[in-house]
Amino acid sequence: MRILVTGASGFIGSFLCEEGLKRGMETWAGMREHSSRRWLQQEKLHFAFLDMTDADVLRRQLASYKEKIGRWDVIIHAAGATKCLRREDFDKNNFDCTRHLVNTLEELDMLPQQFLYVSSLSVLGPIRETPNADGTYNDMLASDEPQPNTAYGESKVKSEAFLAEKRIKTDGRFHFTIFRPTGVYGPREKDYFMMAKSIKQHIDFAVGYKKQVITFVYVRDLVSAIFAAIGKGDIANGKAYFVSDGHNYSSRAFSDLIQKELEVKWVLHIKAPLWLLKVISSVAESLSNITHKPSTLNGDKYKIMCQRNWQCDISPLKADLGFTPEWPLERGVKECMAWYKENKWL
């Protein structure tokens, strides 16, 4: 089987490429020509240099690969941006790139047997933030309609809607499946690494005083869920699946496990009000506009961190694709911290 992974130089993309090779697939790493190959050193890996921001350039690039190989059987579209300087950049990097890729594949008669799209739980927005009387939250159901409150989430919703429309316009010839992971962590990931770095320095920073229920998915579980869909297009076609490790956690669970694995004896836990986070995010965003470098903290990130309920229902994923999470938070954090230490990140 011939498979293309877009966004291959990224955190999730590099793991997807590894899994494709592990399964004996002819694996192509889709990326821009000058993107880093730091995590893509395998001898059997093929490279497809694609600039999805420019439809004309992309058409020439894909046409050249059509002459060489014909088409890919499966495309996993993991390319995208989670941090941008401007609101419109999310649409450019997420929606426009998805639109350009699929439209060009159709024009060149290169549509794959399956198109697997990596979206995000952020498409749902702040659904069910109000807790029940006992302080718990109702589960987030797979039937909940997307109501994003961030530019990132909106760009993902537009992409999802485009895929659904393309399926209709092609009379069902375009087969796609959407994956909506919650917070993804693991080796090579940099945002959660910042938390580990802070705890190593004896500081744990959290925001908001209301109860928060959060979920996570280890990168290897996410990869397994995506690959579980390959060959099951008759079941998964046109569907969107939430992806987590199947457990709900308190806001302190992640930091406590990091502290344990790093053997940090004491940590100062600082919980700041949301208004302070908003101020810090605004300042960070202003500095980004000056330095022209996206900041981890910004207006979009503020809205995400404000949300109190990150539960999601993965029972459809289990029922349809036979997916079973194998990396609960304790096991995932243990391997992740070991990797950070082994690779001198900590």
148 and 125 Cβ atoms separated by less than 8 Å? yes
Mean of the per-residue pLDDT values of the chain: 90
Mention every residue, 6+ apart, whose C-beta is less than 8 A from residue 84. Answer: 90, 93, 151, 152, 294
d(CA 207, CA 307): 10
pTM beyond 0.85, yes or no = yes
90 and 157 Cβ atoms separated by less than 8 Å? no
Q: What is the mean predicted confidence (pLDDT) over 249-269? A: 94
Q: What is the number of structural domains in the chain?
A: 1
Please say if the pLDDT value at position 233 is more than 60: yes
What does the chain come to in residues? 346
Q: What is the pLDDT of residues 85-123, one digit of tens each?
A: 788 899 999 999 999 999 999 999 999 999 999 999 989
Q: What is the mean predicted confidence (pLDDT) over 232-247? A: 95
| pLDDT (0 to 100) of residue 217 | 98
Percentage of the chain beyond pLDDT 70 is 92
Closest CA to 225 of 326, 141, 142: 326
Which secondary-structure segment (H or E) carries 284? helix 274-291
Residue 335: which pLDDT band, with cuts at 50, 70 and 90? Answer: very high
Q: What is the pLDDT of residues 176-207, one digit of tens each?
A: 999 999 999 999 999 899 999 999 999 998 88
Residue 65: which pLDDT band, with cuts at 50, 70 and 90? Answer: very high
181 and 217 Cβ atoms separated by less than 8 Å? yes
| pLDDT (0 to 100) of residue 147 | 79
Q: What is the pLDDT of residues 264-311, one digit of tens each?
A: 999 999 888 877 777 877 777 777 777 777 777 667 776 777 777 788
Q: Which range has the worst mean pLDDT, 77-86, 174-183, 221-230?
A: 77-86
Which residue range is the domain that position 243 belongs to?
A: 2-342
292: left (phi over 0), alpha (psi -120 to 50) or beta: left
The CATH number for 85's domain is 3.40.50.720
